[in-house]
Structure 1
Amino acid sequence: MTAEQLVLVGGLWLDAAAWDEVVADLTKQGRDVVAVRLPVHAGATLADQAAAVLAAVDAAPGRSVVVGHSAASTLAWLAADARPDRVAKVAMIGGWPRAGGQTYGDFFAIKDGEMPFPGWAEFEADAADLDAAARAAFTAAAVAVPEHVATGVVTYTDERRYDVPVVLICPEFTPEQAREWLAAGDLPELTPVKNLDTVDIDSGHWPMLTSPAELAGLIAAL
């Protein structure tokens, strides 16, 4: 049986190149892997980005495992909602999906039609494993999020998404914390999921940059 395609979706401010080392490692393992290039042109919308993920899923000969990082956990979950028969599993790294009716990711100031990277003061607790050089490289490569992506309203249509297995990969928080949030009802889109697992990774919020080999191993095991 053909192994599932792996579809990797980066979070806010990341382009597909952020996955390069992970993709290289998975490719050496013989895996079929695609890092999605999300549209970030002026005027791009949340629907445009969701469509880019679906295009990767639809192009696969079989089913896909969709991996979303941080805010893009929502994009991965939207793919499961739109293609519950084509998405074999969803993995969410350092994040979880927004609930229906919420905005996608307008967490920081929007200026001139986009939400730029706000700087490291907002992420000190999450970026302890990024040294000065890595932070400078991240900042230089950061892609501003189009306003209509950040402010796009999340809409789900198919409850069969809850039949799709989910794995939470936990970087700057622990699996135990994730379970506590689930039990408290703080992750409402994941509460109805019938098959949910948690996996730990010893890293900050961006393991594709700081622990790519370990992350690739976890993704391959999905």
Structure 2
Amino acid sequence: MSTSTHDLTHDLEPLPLHVVLVPGFWLGAWAWDDVVPHLGAAGLVPHAVTLPGLGDVAEDRSGVTRDDHVRAVLDVVAPLEGDVVLVGHSGGGAVVHEALDRDPGRVRRVVYVDSGPLVDGAALFPDVPAEAVEIPLPSWEDLAAQGSSLEGVDEAGLARFRDRAVPHPAAVARGAVRLGDQARLDVPVTVICTSLPSEVLRQMAHPGPPLHTELGSLDATYVDLPTGHWPMFSRPADLAEEIVRAAQA
């Protein structure tokens, strides 16, 4: 019995649209728990990532490097069939940008959540002492003083954050970003601005201080979602909606 081309085409199902979620400092995949169901309900396939050294307080973080974090993201992406969108929150933004640089043809779009891509050679915290192995979660007061607003996170959310946070590998924080493929600049990005208005960020989107970012060289769409630095805790449904909109653009 012969099968028509029409029948074969009809039987083919569209490939899924994958969203790889990379959290910032001190966080594991759990940080996206309130976002993931909304992404799935919208038809996306979410993959929340726990980067090396951030799975448990008892882990040995002495040998964890930036390259380990980048490779962990690439390992998640490698077996996926279909389009891939990378989402990086805070310090995770620099990680997904390096992952993009390693394989730009594999990525449909990058979404930066209160974050952005660093330029080649820049580091998030270059002044972290060489002898430091890990960076514990600071006090709420210190975080606020550093510009990491906790706006919108209730007491239960803060308690969960504090209870589940894991010290961040120091070598990752002080390690320099390494980029080499200019094709990364051709991949569209969405920047979800939560603690800093897009109007302000646009003025800072250049390679110099204080941000040392490549945003000004990218095909970037800016979205304002006013809240603090951790929208996955303060406005998870709204954050998911913006990620879906970006992924489907």
TM-score under structure 1 length normalisation? 0.91
2:154 matched to which residue of 1?
A: 131
CA 107–138 in structure 1, closer or farther in 2 if over 3 Å, else same: farther
2:37 matched to which residue of 1?
A: 24
Q: Distance in 2 between the 1:159 and 1:211 partners?
A: 34
Match status 1:97 vs 2:123: no
Q: Distance in 1 between the 2:183 and 2:38 partners?
A: 32
CA 220–136 in structure 1, closer or farther in 2 if over 3 Å, else same: same
- Give per-residue Cα distances to partners, 1:26-75, cap 9 Å, x unaligned: 11222111001201142211111100111112121123110000111101
Contact 2:16 2:81 in 1 (8 A): no
Deviation (angstroms), 1:145: 0.8
RMSD of equivalent CA atoms: 2.1
Contact 2:19 2:85 in 1 (8 A): yes
2:171 matched to which residue of 1?
A: 148
The correspondence for 2:236, drawn from 187, 206, 212, is: 212
Structure showing greater Rg: 2
1:80 matched to which residue of 2?
A: 100
Match status 1:35 vs 2:58: no
Query: Letter of the aligned partner of 1:200 in structure 2?
Result: D
CA 185–113 in structure 1, closer or farther in 2 if over 3 Å, else same: closer
Q: Distance in 2 between the 1:35 and 1:159 partners?
A: 27
1:190 matched to which residue of 2?
A: 215
Deviation (angstroms), 1:183: 6.5
Query: Letter of the aligned partner of 1:145 in structure 2?
Result: H
Deviation (angstroms), 1:219: 0.7
What is the total number of aligned residue pairs between the two structures? Answer: 221
Deviation (angstroms), 1:13: 0.6
Q: Distance in 2 between the 1:107 and 1:8 partners?
A: 27
Structure 1 stretches lacking a partner, 5+ long: none
CA 181–206 in structure 1, closer or farther in 2 if over 3 Å, else same: same
Contact 1:62 1:86 in 2 (8 A): no
Q: Distance in 2 between the 1:107 and 1:135 partners?
A: 27
Q: Distance in 2 between the 1:112 and 1:82 partners?
A: 28
Deviation (angstroms), 1:111: 7.7
Q: Distance in 1 between the 2:162 and 2:50 partners?
A: 18
Deviation (angstroms), 1:76: 1.1
Contact 1:71 1:97 in 2 (8 A): no
Deviation (angstroms), 1:132: 3.0
- Identity, % of aligned positions: 36
Q: Distance in 1 between the 2:206 and 2:175 partners?
A: 28
Secondary structure of the residue that 1:66 maps to in structure 2? strand
Secondary structure of the residue that 2:105 maps to in structure 1? coil
Structure 2 stretches lacking a partner, 5+ long: 1-13, 54-59
Query: Letter of the aligned partner of 1:189 in structure 2?
Result: E
Q: Distance in 2 between the 1:44 and 1:201 partners?
A: 33
1:172 matched to which residue of 2?
A: 195
1:4 matched to which residue of 2?
A: 17
1:116 matched to which residue of 2?
A: 136
